[in-house]
């Protein structure tokens, strides 16, 4: 039976667009449907605008350090939130256009509207049905807000990028990377920030030394960081909101941001009706090649809840296109995926945490260094950098690398190549450092720490 398309992609985020483009370039007839905006979360309300906000929030500290330690005199300064929002919107619009151009140039048929799966080979958008040999679900994730009284008075990261005015006082609820990043962004822009997390230490899943060190650094910046406390209810006040906490106290603020996790965006897509298996958290269950239990339906990206990072979704999209229309089956590689938290200071990480390494290898050597970066020696600033290597003693391979410090993301990206290539501690030691840099510390640590 001849169907209209070889591949129908639901969701034009980073993963869906990459899968659609590459499949079309392999000669497949491809359609893609999107009901919101091209580029998905990352381009519109995620990685890209978030990083722009991080840059904006860092300038105040940079100016202070220039004055305090480096002889600069700076006149009266002020920050205008609407200008940042307007410029950010222009950049996102530019990127949306680029995504549209990429799809058009690849010959992908674009459809505006919400797509729903009718059966294993049929998708419906705005009353029109399309048939395809394969259907790919790449619908990403969506913010989760806890079911508490007054929850509608809070916002999520989605709305934060379009606030009309910068709050004077903000409460951020959550302990993941989104919560941490926005706590630092608001703090850097002069907002009085309180961050609440229900657990004993934020950034669950990251290395414990990195988590502990970052908490110390964020508190030193002035963020009121509170662990083992949560919000039980919110009420509207004459000005702003009042949050009641699990310890019985209350907090008043202009804004409360829920960064309490994201859930797979899998509801109301017709998946259950088509027989697609979903996990209890709503994620789509897939095999090593991103195929669901329905042979013609596939899924990639955050909706599968494997590793929820944009470059991973892009990688999965490439593998999917190769599997269906390229050289042959290609399964995504989820080992040694580097990641960064754009907190202030940043966290960069690749490989195993110390806890994971001990569980997998047993006997490991840990190298750790904490120091004041050269930039801060003239300013007397409190920020300190932490670097850590974890080595499997049996093979001498470096199996984990973690950093908290300035530009950790940029530094760890390069070292991720070494980790992926299986570099040993001896090879790290044999590498000449670039002096004076913080990064050279990774190749000069000689003595393991005692545990």
How many whole angstroms separate alpha carbon 313 and alpha carbon 304?
10
Which helix (DSSP H) or strand (DSSP E) does residue 117 occupy?
Answer: strand 115-119
Residues 78, 75: Cα–Cα separation, whole Å = 10
* Catalytic site residue from 58, 213, 402, 435: 435
Q: Phi and psi for 92 in degrees, rounded to 5?
A: -65, -40
Taking residue 83's Cβ as centre, other Cβ atoms within 10 Å add up to 10
The bridge status of strand 192-197 relative to strand 224-227 is parallel
Angle between helices 310-325 and 14-25 (to 10 degrees): 30
For residues 258 and 265, the answer to whether their CB atoms sit within 8 Å is: no
Helix (H) or strand (E) holding 324: helix 310-325
Q: How many CB atoms lie within 10 A of CB 383?
A: 19
Lookup: tokens for 116: 């729903």
Q: How far is CA 76 from CA 63, 73, 79, 81, 384, in A?
A: 11, 10, 11, 17, 29
Distances (CA, A) of 266 to 37, 81, 115, 279, 303: 17, 34, 12, 11, 7
Burial of 360 (0-12, 13-18, 19+ CB in 10 A): exposed
Catalytic-residue membership of 376? no
H-helix or E-strand spanning residue 87: helix 81-106
Nearest residue to 152 via CA among 236, 89, 43, 220: 236
Distances (CA, A) of 209 to 363, 408, 415: 18, 15, 19
Token pair recorded at residue 245 = 């906490």
The residues that are catalytic are 435
């Amino acid at each position: 039976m001849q169907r209209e398309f070889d591949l129908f992609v639901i969701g034009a985020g980073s993963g869906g667009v990459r899968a659609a483009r590459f499949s079309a370039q392999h000669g497949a007839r491809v359609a893609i449907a999107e009901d919101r905006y091209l580029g998905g979360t990352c381009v519109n309300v995620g990685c890209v605008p978030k990083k722009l906000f991080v840059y904006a929030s860092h300038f105040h500290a940079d100016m202070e350090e220039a004055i305090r330690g480096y002889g600069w005199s700076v006149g009266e300064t002020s920050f205008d939130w609407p200008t940042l929002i307007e410029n950010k919107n222009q950049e996102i619009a530019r990127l949306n256009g680029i995504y549209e151009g990429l799809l058009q140039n690849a010959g992908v048929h674009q459809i505006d509207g919400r797509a729903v799966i009718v059966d294993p080979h049929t998708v419906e958008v705005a009353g029109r049905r399309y048939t395809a040999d394969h259907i790919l679900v790449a619908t990403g994730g969506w913010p989760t807000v806890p079911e508490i009284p007054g929850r509608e008075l809070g916002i999520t990261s989605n709305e934060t990028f379009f606030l009309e005015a910068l709050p004077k006082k903000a409460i951020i609820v959550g302990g993941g990377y989104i919560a941490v990043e926005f706590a630092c962004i608001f703090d850097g822009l002069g907002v009085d920030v309180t961050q609440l997390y229900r657990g004993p230490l934020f950034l669950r899943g990251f290395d414990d030394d990195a988590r502990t060190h970052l908490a110390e650094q964020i508190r030193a910046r002035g963020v009121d960081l509170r662990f083992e406390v949560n919000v039980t209810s919110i009420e509207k006040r004459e000005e702003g909101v009042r949050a009641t906490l699990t310890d019985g106290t209350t907090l008043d603020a202009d804004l409360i941001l829920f960064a309490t996790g994201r859930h797979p965006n899998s509801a109301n897509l017709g998946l259950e009706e088509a027989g697609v298996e979903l996990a209890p958290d709503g994620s789509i269950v897939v095999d090593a090649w991103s195929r669901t239990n329905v042979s013609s339906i596939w899924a990639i990206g955050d909706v599968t809840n494997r590793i929820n990072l944009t470059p991973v979704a892009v990688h999965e999209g490439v593998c999917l296109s190769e599997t269906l229309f390229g050289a042959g089956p290609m399964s995504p590689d989820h080992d040694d995926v580097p990641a960064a938290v754009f907190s202030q200071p940043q966290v960069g990480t690749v490989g195993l945490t110390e806890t994971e390494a001990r569980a997998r290898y047993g006997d490991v050597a840990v190298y750790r260094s904490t120091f004041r970066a050269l930039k801060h020696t003239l300013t007397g600033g409190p920020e300190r950098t932490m670097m850590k290597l974890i080595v499997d003693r049996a093979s001498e391979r470096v199996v984990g690398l973690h950093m908290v410090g300035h530009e950790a993301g940029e530094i760890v990206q390069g070292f991720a190549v070494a980790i992926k290539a299986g570099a040993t501690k001896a090879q790290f030691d044999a590498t000449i450092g670039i002096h004076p840099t913080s990064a050279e510390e990774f190749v000069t640590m000689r003595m393991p720490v005692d545990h």
